[in-house]
A = this chain, B = another copy of it.
Amino acid sequence: MKIALLQDCFRPCRIEENKKKIADFYKKASQEDADIVVVPSEAICGFEPEGLLDFNDVNDALTDIQKELIRSTNADTALVFDTPFALDGSFSPSLIIAYDGCIQHSLPQFDISPDWAERIITFHDESILFTFFSSIASLHVTQAMALMELIDTCIILDARPFTQDKELSRCQVLSNLALGIRNVIYANQSGFQNGYMLGGASCYYQQGKLRVQLPYFDKSESIFDTEETEWKRVQTLIPDTKEKMTKCLHHAVVAGIRDYFSQCGVSKAVVGLSGGIDSAVVLPLAVEALGRKNVFGIMMPSQFSTDHSVKDAVQLAENLQIHYEIIPIEPVYKAFMQQLEPIVKGTPFGLTEENLQARIRGTILMAAANKQGAFLLNTSNKSEASCGYGTLYGDLCGALSVLGDLYKSQVYDIARLINKRKEIIPENSIRKAPSAELHPGQKDSDSLPDYDTIEKVLRLHLEQKLGQKEIEEEGVSPKSVKRILDLFYKNVFKRHQTPPVIRLSQTCLDKDINLPLVCR
């Protein structure tokens, strides 16, 4: 049996484009004598179409497109796809198997019922189960065992955001299933959609062996024969070590930048370069995603900047051969302070003046982005964001938060990965103590607990749902736990207004995991 597998990002506002991708691939696969063309879940309606399905005209267009696709199928090649909720009477939420211009089977979209029979179809003398990943993942062992007795082939549709937390278990579910089912075919969406990184990594297991694996995050396709006996060796991509996970995260953020810019029709990026680790990591990621000619760096030293800040940033820009400018902020700062005289006179230097510097920088970066039709990339990380360490409308500006779902330690991991072959990021940016440089001699550690403690407390709280007392029992000092949780809850309001984050975990702080705005 010849299977054709299509992996791509299907967007809910682009149903015509989605149809074309599917129709073109179907045509090609049909010419290559494929028996079944499998596309990911939500391939026609696009990933998470919810809000759009409220509109009648969107539903009508979707219905027409599906009818067209079905009509265009021939007798030899089946097309497998799913349809969303809220369609008109002629379609209910279902998984469709179409050929010869008609729907041949329409299976309910929800979980596998105890009665497997209705989802198992005999096709080319094989018993095939057509289903969804979430249904497979929720099977008990005994159910899975029973299933293995019944079928030769399992075809699984999915549209799954990659998350660090759940990726290994996703891989495990598939490889376990493949131990008892001759053919396991998995089709997933790939690429950036609305903050999520759809994982891709669609694959084919033959008698327990991984025969085909499409890349993470990138669009791809494969046509293969389940009767084939000669295979090239497939290198599994499973990120089951810290090093492989770092590579995977690196790949994800590069793909995220690339896709978001392309979806917005923007080719250029502006990055503010402080000499610190976060911007030093964002810059090479942006260069990889967009090309060095499309990335513009700006250093904005103040009277509080150390010499090495500009030096390190310049070195980084020159290593990457990008265009950059140095724009000192002091003249603007002075002009502001003079105009603000009626408000600030007689008050000591403090938060206002620190925020002012950050906001001047944000304004310069946005001006540079506006003038060039570019997007500003935000360089804040998850450890900072969780504690509200950042200035709204200052360093929290940007069209996209590249590192917003990565802890500071992970930013360092990616920095080391980038530098693996040759020093791109100046060692000094990696080694020096983090500092916002908003007052003389400032270090992040003056206002924040150390980053390792922040990460430990947040992981225990967000991933394991432990409360204050339980976290203390894990060996963190009560003072640190209280301080970090207080900062975390006090700063929901900041995270409400920050740029969309490339989401890489189940605990991304964008939209703040359902917390109320005022949470103290």
Contacts and interface: CB of A to CB of B under 8 A. Distances in A.
A327 B342 contact: yes
Most buried by B among A342, A371, A512: A371
A365 to B, nearest CB: 10
Given A500-B496, A515-B51, A363 B359 contact: yes
A393 B362 contact: yes
Contact of A327 (B339, B362, B496): B339
A430 interface: no
Contacts of A347: 371
Interface residues of A, number: 80
Contacts of A52: 514-516
A448 interface: no
User: Copy number in this complex?
Assistant: 2
A367 B352 contact: yes
Contacts of A331: 335, 338-339
Interface stretch (A127-135, A416-424, A462-470): A462-470
Contacts of A498: 497
A329 interface: yes
Contacts of A355: 366-367, 370
B497 A499 contact: yes
Contacts of A468: 57
A332 interface: yes
A456 to B, nearest CB: 17
A288 to B, nearest CB: 21
Given A339-B331, A393-B393, A363 B371 contact: no
A213 B396 CA distance: 46
A367 B344 contact: yes
B362 A367 contact: no
Interface in A347-362: 347, 351-352, 355-356, 359-360, 362
A101 interface: no
Contacts of A193: 516
Interface string A407-451: 000000000000000000000000000000000000000000000
A12 B516 contact: yes
Most buried by B among A52, A55, A332: A332
A364 B499 CA distance: 22
A370 B352 contact: yes
A343 interface: yes
Contact of A342 (B325, B340, B467, B496): B325
B467 A58 contact: yes
A520 interface: yes
A149 to B, nearest CB: 37
Given A366-B359, A517-B194, A55 B465 contact: yes
Contacts of A516: 11-13, 46, 48, 51-52, 193-194
A203 B503 CA distance: 45
Interchain residue pairs A-B with the least CB separation, the first 8: A57-B467, A51-B514, A335-B335, A352-B370, A194-B516, A393-B393, A263-B518, A359-B363
Given A336-B364, A356-B367, 18 more contacts: A11-B516, A13-B516, A51-B512, A51-B515, A54-B513, A56-B465, A57-B469, A193-B516, A194-B516, A194-B518, A264-B520, A331-B335, A344-B367, A347-B371, A355-B367, A356-B363, A497-B499, A511-B511
15 contacts: A13-B516, A13-B518, A52-B516, A57-B467, A260-B518, A327-B339, A332-B335, A335-B335, A336-B367, A343-B372, A344-B367, A359-B359, A363-B363, A366-B393, A497-B499
